[in-house]
Amino acid sequence: PDPEEVAGRTETARLVRKALRRLPQIYQQILQMRHFEQLEVSEIALRLHKPEGTIKSWLFRARTKLRQELQSLA
């Protein structure tokens, strides 16, 4: 791959990690489970002992907050 492309990906990954650290712990946890561990909502709900609807709501809020944090870092 092109060195500029690699550098861009590295910078993007750094910004995402920084933005994630700024989120509440529960949002960090469910984003990690859903997008990095690739767990289904039902699996996250079982692990956290919460209803699926709660997990879906938290994921929506977590993604919204992450988007806001990324915009503030850009």
For 16-52, write each residue's pLDDT tens digit.
999 999 999 999 999 999 999 999 999 999 999 999 9
Q: With b meaning 16 or more CB within 10 Å and e meaning fewer, what string describes 5-22?
A: eeeeeeeeeeebeebbee
To the nearest 10°, report the CA torsion of 38, 54, 27, 37. Answer: -10
Q: What is the pLDDT of residue 65?
A: 97
Q: What is the pLDDT of residue 13?
A: 87
Name the pTM for this structure: 0.84
Q: What is the pLDDT of residue 22?
A: 96
